[in-house]
Structure 1
Amino acid sequence: MPLHDAEARRLYDQAAGLAGIGAWECVLATEQLTWTDGVYDLFGLPRGSTLHRPSTVDLYSNESRAEMERLRAGMIRTGQGFVLDARIIAADGEDRWMRLSAAVSHSQNRPTRIFGAKQNITSEKHMWQGLRRLAYSDPLTGLANRRAFEAQLSELRHSPADSAAIGALALVDLDMFKPINDRFGHAAGDECLRQVALRLEATLSDAVMIARLGGDEFALLLCSRAGWPAILRRLDHALAALAQPVAWNGRLIEISASIGVTTLLPGRLHETDRSFAEADSALYVAKASGRNRLHLFGDPLRSQANGEAVLRQALATG
């Protein structure tokens, strides 16, 4: 049964409202805007109110505004439409995401108007952001997980080198963690891991990233313009914090950790496997030297009595 125009429009408006979508048009000669109700609602503006393009563009986040203007200019120049997920701060103050679809029409081979659709995709964005957090975070401690840590290392490979900054990759491993689980139970072990995460975040709050790789192993990405002495002081502070007992069911559980660290040289940021291997080797030396200590990859193994002093001297001059 064919629909009359009014009935078809009513059904379309209902569907558009459910989908959070609206249509828009801009006359290029005058920049006059025309919106349907769905776009007014998306931007938090009264339906039918007067529109001024500069004011509506100001509702875009800075990054989304710059990208939208770039794509808009390219579309007018080439005639190729685009789709952009843009973040806006609506007039009612609500942070929203919209999917902007755009095309251009011509008259006598000249662009005369641009038009398209704008859809509220805030719920979709939040869903994907939540899934991403689940995929890249450790559920026990709330820290980044191995996948997120390796992704961060990969991003460093494509970042311009900062010759004034010293980078370090450190691996942290709890000492004698299995006996804690065996004696007090896994719930106590989980509390120790959570406390380790909190203490690392408190003492290394300016770290590029802190992650739990799995089990009782954590990883740190550090950067300092003050050189190795500053990095050493921060790691020493973290080591002391990790050696404090953990309160559990009215008892104090003694814990400590060992740390292996290696430099992240600008010319070797692509060698992530090598950096991990060096930090892991340094961690092994720290544990073999008596645990509850820090060892820098490449520092010769010395006696336990003077090991830390030698390490401090090596870092201060390295």
Structure 2
Amino acid sequence: MFDTEEGRRLAALYALDLLDTPPEAEFDAIVTLATHLLGKQAAVLSLIDQGRHWIKARSDTGAIGTSGLRILCDDLIQGQEMTIIEDAAADPRFYTDARLMADGIRFYAGVPLYAPGADGSIQPVGTLCVADPNPGRLDQDSIGALQRLAILAQSLLTARLAARSALDLATLAKRQATDLLRKDQTFSQAETMAKIGSWRYVPATGDIQWSEGVFQIHGLPPGDRAAIDGLLARYPRNLRRLLYRAARASLRTGEPFEIEVDFVDAEGDRRRIRAIGAPEITLDNPVALIGLLQDITDRHRMEERLRRTADRDDLTGIANRAAFDRVLGAAIAQPLCNRAPLMLAVVDLDCFKEVNDTLGHRAGDDVLRAVGRRLREPWLRGSYAARIGGDEFALIVDHPGLLADPAAFVQRLEHELCVPVTAGKITIATSGTVGTATLTDHDNVRDFVHAADTELYAAKRRRIGNRRRTDRHSGPPRRQVAAE
């Protein structure tokens, strides 16, 4: 079976040992980022087995069916290149296939995922795709984001395969002492490539054995036995307790453990590792713990960068609506005894439509960028700023100095939001109306935002009323508004 091309592909897939496994945070994070970055309803990471399409991770509202995805992903595996279908209903390859329409798939973009085969070849084993019930397009930045997420997914697959191989090699080396030297050399090469090291701990004697890979991960010279005693001092105290508890529980229950922790290496650099351990059983008794350490610093930093990118509004550089909702929800979810005083300020720009209609959208973008900069100024004392709509902004304020006088805060903020913009001989001064609400003990997110919106609408009505009274006394309004 494995002599054919399909057989070699299936062998690479089965070597990953991912089929029919529980959800994993790394793969769930990738599909969640895909939906945020590409703005599509569904993102799916799937593995293509013989005769079935198995979904490892999925992020959507459940409106996208799976049979249509299977058709498209099977085609993608065969073609082995990125596929983008802007409108399946208008694509001659697919518009006659009722299954896509029944599953609500109009837009689809997918990238194949590869894994190394036993013969050194690279085999397609699955896909990372996004789908949507509406037709759409992807710009070059979105295409690049999907491809980079696919690279991240492939690195997870490769690291998983390397980790499994390294753990198998470590166990085999213990059982086959006569072949120890050869296997040690092979294992050392695998450790260097995968940034992995193995360890063995004997509770009865306190003896710890490290492979060269563990020394390398911690920035220590190989074989420096004196350094082992000071190793755990490089980990924060709470994480040391976490490691101890995980090890004791594994010895007591016989179950393996897997955790991720941060530490500072010998060079003073902060790094992140994945620790995997399991009991070594002799005559039904646990005599030692064996396991792996894997340096996942680069992957973790990449994920953090992707999360920050997904949370930022590209035009203004401040947070977007999704990040704002999450931060506000987390703040309100704090227990009452720990909840800090909080004020929400919502901002609606005045005359913004006039800027776009009169001076053009480029001038409107300049206004939005200026507002983004002014919502990050030092006097706001680290308030969390977000763009929550086209010309709508919000601030989460927790500094006592700003909370002490909300009226003064609103007055200064509205003054700072006066942004004059000029094109040709026309100058329009935009401004912002601010509504605030203070968090009470019984507020939830919806009530908190509604209270701030209500105050905003009241402030806009007062401003419009004042403007009309001024206009009646000063004559007809001028078409050209001078900058303040």
TM-score bin, normalised by smaller chain:
0.7 to 0.9
RMSD: 3.2
CA distance 1:29–1:237, change in 2 (3 Å): farther
1:205 aligns with 2:378: no
1:132 aligns with 2:307: yes
TM-score by length of 2: 0.53
CA contact (8 A) 1:88 1:96 kept: yes
Shift of 1:111: 4.6
Decide which of 447, 455, 458 is 1:274's aligned counterpart: 447
Decide which of 42, 67, 79 is 2:254's aligned counterpart: 79
Shift of 1:52: 4.8
Shift of 1:187: 2.6
1:190 aligns with 2:365: yes
**1:32-73 deviations in whole A, cap 9, x for unaligned?**
321111111111011111145551112224553343233233
CA distance 1:39–1:249, change in 2 (3 Å): farther
Equivalent residue letter for 1:132: R
Between stretches 253-262 and 40-49, larger displacement belongs to 253-262
**Higher RCO (CA-CA < 8 Å; seq separation 6+):** 1
Count of residue correspondences:
289
**1:242-264 deviations in whole A, cap 9, x for unaligned?**
12546889997522101111222
Query: 1:288 matched to which residue of 2?
Result: 461
CA distance 1:253–1:88, change in 2 (3 Å): farther
CA contact (8 A) 1:22 1:118 kept: yes
CA contact (8 A) 1:171 1:218 kept: yes
CA contact (8 A) 2:363 2:421 kept: no
Report the 3-state secondary structure (helix = DSSP H, G, I; strand = E; otherwise coil) of the residue aligned with 2:234.
coil
Equivalent residue letter for 2:447: R
Between stretches 212-221 and 68-77, larger displacement belongs to 68-77
CA contact (8 A) 2:256 2:278 kept: yes
1:259 aligns with 2:431: no
In the alignment, structure 2 segments of 5+ residues that lack a partner are 1-177, 471-484
CA contact (8 A) 1:86 1:97 kept: yes
CA contact (8 A) 1:167 1:222 kept: yes
Q: How many Å separate the matches in 2 of 1:249 and 1:44? A: 61
Percent sequence identity over aligned pairs: 33
Query: 1:152 matched to which residue of 2?
Result: 327
**1:80-131 deviations in whole A, cap 9, x for unaligned?**
3211111121111222111110122356776542220001111211121122
Give runs of aligned pairs for residues 14-25 of structure 1, distance below 5 A. 14-25=189-200
Give runs of aligned pairs for residues 44-83 of structure 1, distance below 5 A. 44-83=219-258
Between stretches 132-141 and 247-256, larger displacement belongs to 247-256
Equivalent residue letter for 1:91: A
Between stretches 245-254 and 164-173, larger displacement belongs to 245-254
**1:213-260 deviations in whole A, cap 9, x for unaligned?**
121111121235579543333333222211254688999752210111
Shift of 1:205: 2.3
Report the 3-state secondary structure (helix = DSSP H, G, I; strand = E; otherwise coil) of the residue aligned with 1:25.
strand
Shift of 1:76: 3.6
Equivalent residue letter for 1:44: G
Equivalent residue letter for 1:234: F
TM-score by length of 1: 0.79
Q: How many Å separate the matches in 2 of 1:163 and 1:115? A: 41
Decide which of 279, 282, 286 is 1:104's aligned counterpart: 279
**1:178-224 deviations in whole A, cap 9, x for unaligned?**
222233332322222122122112131232x2211121111121235
Query: 2:351 matched to which residue of 1?
Result: 176
In the alignment, structure 1 segments of 5+ residues that lack a partner are 294-302, 305-318
Q: How many Å separate the matches in 1 of 2:421 and 2:391? A: 15
Equivalent residue letter for 1:206: G
CA distance 1:60–1:229, change in 2 (3 Å): closer
